[in-house]
């Protein structure tokens, strides 16, 4: 699979990260595409696999494939994504890729989050970690506070947008303690029941997402070299504003042209 094939895949699977990556230099863009294709491969396992054991086998394959890339004598397995990652082992720490994989084992387990802190930890291990890797690929620096604000804004908003799907796999972004306080249960989530109670329980996650969006905006202009790696995070506020009040309802898509114009403005001004 060539760069153009990753591009085509990401247009539907991860369009906003792809849009931001288009602002990268020509030699960097294929690396971001390969990274995001890898994230897509491991991220979709839980949603695409009904049998937990099969899901674990798929994630274990990816964990072993990454280990092979970083072996003393590297072995590149025959897969477009591993081939795309092969020339980046000097830029990306193996531990970062392993973290992205390990977080998805929790999705396979269908273990509900016990608290908001656990939701935040998952976002830090996925959205924030991926953003940090992308910054390394772009050789761009960003302070930790700004990175966490951007990654959490995007990650929390993304989980909220995917609430109906996440609820079905047992990983709805809501703390078990908040769920209990609202008089709801994980079983209700899986069946799409108790809308009012669940809407109340998810409010702490919505507030955390809003806080992250506000912190990102308050941080000032982004350095130009960071835009391809994490510029898509500026779209989180618009997505958050358009979330339905009832979490089981799918959030509407924002117009492509509006997103393109927002990222173009960001690339020109850093804001």
Note whether 24 and 32 are within 8 A (CB).
yes
Q: What is the pLDDT of residue 51?
A: 79
Q: Which residues contact 255 (CB under 8 A, 6 or more apart)?
A: none
For 3-269, CATH number out of 1.10.510.10, 1.10.10.10, 1.25.40.20, 1.10.600.10 equals 1.10.600.10
Note whether 131 and 214 are within 8 A (CB).
no
pLDDT tens, position by position, 63-108: 999 999 999 999 999 999 999 999 999 999 999 999 999 999 999 9
Confidence of residue 26 (pLDDT cuts 50, 70, 90): very high
Where are the chain's structural domains? 3-269
pLDDT tens, position by position, 200-236: 999 999 999 999 999 999 999 999 999 999 999 999 9
Note whether 247 and 163 are within 8 A (CB).
yes
Q: How far is CA 216 from CA 90, 149, 204, 208, in A?
A: 30, 5, 18, 12
pLDDT tens, position by position, 39-70: 999 999 988 877 789 999 999 999 999 999 99
Helical H runs in 124-170? 129-137, 144-161, 163-168
Query: Does residue 1 surpass a pLDDT of 80?
Result: no
CA distance 30 to 34: 6
Q: Nearest 5°: CA angle at 158, between 156 and 163?
A: 95
Query: Does residue 4 surpass a pLDDT of 90?
Result: no
For the chain, how big is the Rg over CA atoms in Å? 18
pTM for the complete prediction? 0.95
């Amino acid at each position: 699979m060539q760069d153009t094939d990753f591009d085509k895949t990401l247009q539907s699977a991860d369009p906003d990260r792809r849009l931001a990556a288009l602002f990268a230099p020509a030699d960097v863009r294929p690396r971001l595409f390969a990274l995001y294709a890898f994230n897509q491969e491991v991220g979709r396992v839980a949603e695409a696999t009904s049998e937990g054991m099969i899901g674990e086998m798929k994630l274990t394959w990816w964990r072993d494939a990454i280990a092979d890339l970083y072996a003393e004598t590297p072995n590149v397995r025959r897969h477009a994504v591993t081939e795309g990652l092969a020339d980046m082992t000097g830029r990306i720490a193996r531990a970062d890729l392993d973290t992205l994989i390990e977080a998805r084992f929790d999705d396979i387990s269908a273990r509900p989050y016990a608290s908001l802190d656990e939701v935040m930890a998952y976002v830090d291990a996925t959205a924030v970690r991926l953003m940090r890797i992308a910054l390394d690929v772009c050789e761009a620096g960003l302070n930790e506070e700004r990175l966490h604000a951007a990654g959490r804004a995007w990650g929390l908003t993304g989980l909220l947008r995917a609430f109906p799907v996440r609820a079905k796999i047992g990983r709805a972004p809501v703390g078990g303690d908040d769920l209990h306080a609202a008089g709801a249960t994980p079983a209700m989530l899986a069946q799409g029941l108790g809308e009012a109670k669940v809407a109340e329980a998810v409010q702490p996650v919505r507030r955390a997402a809003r806080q992250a969006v506000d912190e990102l905006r308050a941080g000032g202009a982004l350095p130009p070299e960071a835009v391809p790696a994490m510029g898509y995070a500026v779209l989180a506020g618009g997505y958050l504003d358009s979330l339905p009040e009832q979490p089981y309802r799918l959030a509407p898509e924002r117009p492509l042209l509006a997103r393109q114009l927002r990222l173009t403005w960001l690339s020109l001004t850093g804001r």
